[in-house]
């Protein structure tokens, strides 16, 4: 793969990771809930002009009390 394209992808994914973490933290703070409660999470990435839809699901939770 082209090095410039690879770096562009990595830069985009870093931005996704950082901004997603901020959004999750803000949502949890705003809700004022127990951080040890497990939360189901889903991320959907689309590349419309390539017809790509990639879904990642998982769970996030803090330490149990």
* Domain limits, the chain: 3-60
Average pLDDT over residues 2-9: 96
pTM of the model: 0.79
State whether residue 20 is helix, strand or coil.
Answer: helix
Residue 3, pLDDT score:
94
Q: Is the pLDDT of residue 53 over 90?
A: yes
At residue 65 the predicted structure's pLDDT band, cuts being 50, 70 and 90, is: low
Q: Is the pLDDT of residue 7 over 70?
A: yes
- Exposure string (b/e) for 7-29, b if CB count within 10 Å is 16 or more? eeeeeeeeeeeeeeeeeeeeebe
Residue 33, pLDDT score:
76
């Amino acid at each position: 793969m082209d090095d410039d394209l690879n770096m562009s992808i990595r830069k985009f994914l870093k931005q996704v990771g950082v901004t997603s973490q901020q959004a999750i933290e803000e949502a949890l703070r705003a809700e004022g809930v127990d951080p040890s409660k497990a939360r189901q999470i889903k991320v959907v990435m689309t590349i419309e002009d390539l017809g790509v839809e990639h879904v990642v699901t998982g769970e996030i939770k803090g330490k149990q009390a």
